[in-house]
């Protein structure tokens, strides 16, 4: 039997250290205070210029025209594509991810990256110290022996102990400055296959070509410099990029450590701009008061809201519990909730009014909103949005619609609700 791995949960020692850190952190969400600094335009309809201008200002990132963003569903599609592009690299590869877990998949990537490095390609890697704790010493040795510049994000430090709670949750790969990948997948056997059993996670990842690739490369550069690497520049990393398609898109990065919080602003603006539908497919949905109000406000306007999320296969039981405890309020407001049944569902997709989509690494939970580094891509393209909805509809056929929920007044649940209420800002 395969070993089920959860990149969400750290090892026992790391968890113990992290719990000490969390104990001294504020238990309340910073959302309400951030909202005061992030005004939204409730009149900005999608796909109007007013809406795109509002996101350009709030995300502090420009829109790029002429992109092609290919949707790759499950590891059976995105891993072969990623490996093909790695093996085709001529000059540079930049690679940043949260989870890199020893196994068949990890060794495939180590072999491909090492071969390219030995062939003269400059390979730069950022791995999150917690998410990639199970990479294995042999894989690290093979990567570094091949000449790859490998750096770990925020290892535990006595001089900066609170940094340990800020994780690099981004997933960015750029080859020769011309092809990029983004989305939700890490590198591990849990993502292999086609979500046919509980050991094969449901995931969507994306291949990007066109002008947007340079912005994803810039996003990698931010954390590369943070980990002590020299700033990457020049034509090997930033070549001229031609038009590759007809998609208008925007890449942005969150940097909570630097007081940059674009992810909650994105969700609030998108929800406020919705007039027809809000479709959320996300592995971790835990709403703080700000996000709950944004969803309920949309429902009060008559906007159809759907949430497709994890079932009991969720790899984080505290997140699962907190999410289930919120279902009562959401169902009462008329939100449609679906739980994907075959396996862990790890997608991060938002579609508004069938015209706007946001994809990438960000979950809809306090950790992605206010703590972790994330990287997302916004897309203003009706065809792309409908492609995401088509995939979501297929997932709904393999999901259970939740029609009833546990009452918040059940005494047996009060201790757990109280515990999760105190710790929710860290989930």
For the domain that residue 227 is a member of, what is the CATH number? 3.30.870.10
pLDDT-based confidence at residue 223 (cuts at 50, 70, 90): very high
Average pLDDT score over residue span 208-219? 98
Instruction: Say if 282 falls within a structural domain.
Output: yes
Average pLDDT score over residue span 140-168? 92
pLDDT in tens, 355-398: 999 999 999 999 999 999 999 999 999 999 999 999 999 999 99
Domain that holds residue 333: 25-426
Instruction: Say if 1 falls within a structural domain.
Output: no
Rounded CA gap, 220 and 183, in Å? 14
What does the block give as tokens for 365? 């939970």
pLDDT in tens, 27-64: 567 877 887 788 899 999 999 999 999 999 999 999 99
Instruction: Say if 9 falls within a structural domain.
Output: no
Rounded CA gap, 363 and 189, in Å? 21
pLDDT in tens, 22-37: 444 445 678 778 877 8
Closest to 61 measured CA to CA, from 214, 279, 264: 214
Determine the pLDDT at residue 421: 65
Average pLDDT score over residue span 307-327? 93
Instruction: Say if 2 falls within a structural domain.
Output: no
Q: Is the pLDDT of residue 70 over 80?
A: yes
Closest to 256 measured CA to CA, from 426, 399, 56, 131: 426
User: What is the number of domains present in the chain?
Assistant: 1
Higher pLDDT: 185 or 258? It is 185
Instruction: Say if 285 falls within a structural domain.
Output: yes
Instruction: Say if 15 falls within a structural domain.
Output: no
Rounded CA gap, 203 and 14, in Å? 26
pLDDT in tens, 103-116: 999 999 999 999 99
Instruction: Say if 150 falls within a structural domain.
Output: yes
Determine the pLDDT at residue 8: 54
Instruction: Say if 19 falls within a structural domain.
Output: no
Rounded CA gap, 86 and 98, in Å? 18
Determine the pLDDT at residue 11: 41
- Percent of the chain having pLDDT more than 90? 80
pTM of the complete model: 0.92
34's enclosing H/E stretch is: helix 31-35
pLDDT in tens, 277-296: 999 999 999 999 999 999 99
Give the per-residue SS3 of 173-189.
EEECCCEEEEECCCECH
Q: Is the pLDDT of residue 215 over 50?
A: yes
Higher pLDDT: 13 or 174? It is 174
Per the prediction, the chain carries an average pLDDT of: 91
Rounded CA gap, 346 and 7, in Å? 11
Phi, psi dihedral angles at 255 (to 5 degrees): -140, 70
Contacts of 57 (CB under 8 A, 6+ apart): none
């Amino acid at each position: 039997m395969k070993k089920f791995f959860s990149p969400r949960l750290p090892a026992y020692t790391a968890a113990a250290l992290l719990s000490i850190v969390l104990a001294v952190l504020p238990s309340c969400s910073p959302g309400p205070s951030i909202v005061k600094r992030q005004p939204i335009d409730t009149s900005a309809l999608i796909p109007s210029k007013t809406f795109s201008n509002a996101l350009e200002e709030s995300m502090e990132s420009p829109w790029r025209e002429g992109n092609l963003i290919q949707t790759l569903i499950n590891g059976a599609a995105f891993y072969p594509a990623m490996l093909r592009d790695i093996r085709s690299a001529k000059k540079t590869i930049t690679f940043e991810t949260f989870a890199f877990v020893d196994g068949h998949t990890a060794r495939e990537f180590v072999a491909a990256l090492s071969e390219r490095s030995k062939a003269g390609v400059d390979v730069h890697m950022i791995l999150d110290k917690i998410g990639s704790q199970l990479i294995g010493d042999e894989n690290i040795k093979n990567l570094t022996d091949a000449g790859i510049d490998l750096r770990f994000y925020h290892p535990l430090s006595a001089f900066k102990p609170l940094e340990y709670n800020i994780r690099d949750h981004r997933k960015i790969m750029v080859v020769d400055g011309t092809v990029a990948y983004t989305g939700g997948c890490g590198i591990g056997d849990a993502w292999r296959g086609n979500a046919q059993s509980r050991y094969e996670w449901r995931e969507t990842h994306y291949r990007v070509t066109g002008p947007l690739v340079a912005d994803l490369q810039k996003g990698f550069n931010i954390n590369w410099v943070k980990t002590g690497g020299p700033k990457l520049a020049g034509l090997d990393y930033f070549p001229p990029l031609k038009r590759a398609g007809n998609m208008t898109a925007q890449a942005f990065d969150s940097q909570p450590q630097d007081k940059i919080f674009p992810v909650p602003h994105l969700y609030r603006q998108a929800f406020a701009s919705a007039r027809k539908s809000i479709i959320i497919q996300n592995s971790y949905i835990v709403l703080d008061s700000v996000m709950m109000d944004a969803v309920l406000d949309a429902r009060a306007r008559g906007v159809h809201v759907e949430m497709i999320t994890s079932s009991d296969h969720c790899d984080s039981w505290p997140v699962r519990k907190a999410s289930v405890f919120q279902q009562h309020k959401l169902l009462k407001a008329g939100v449609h909730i679906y739980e994907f049944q075959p396996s862990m569902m790890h997608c991060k997709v938002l579609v508004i009014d069938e015209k706007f989509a946001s994809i990438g690494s960000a979950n809809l939970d306090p950790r992605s909103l206010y703590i972790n580094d994330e990287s997302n891509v916004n897309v203003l393209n009706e065809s792309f949005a409908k492609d995401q909805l088509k995939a979501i509809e297929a997932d709904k056929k393999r999901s259970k619609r939740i029609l009833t929920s546990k009452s918040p007044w059940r005494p047996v649940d009060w201790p757990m609700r109280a515990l999760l209420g105190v710790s929710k800002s860290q989930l």
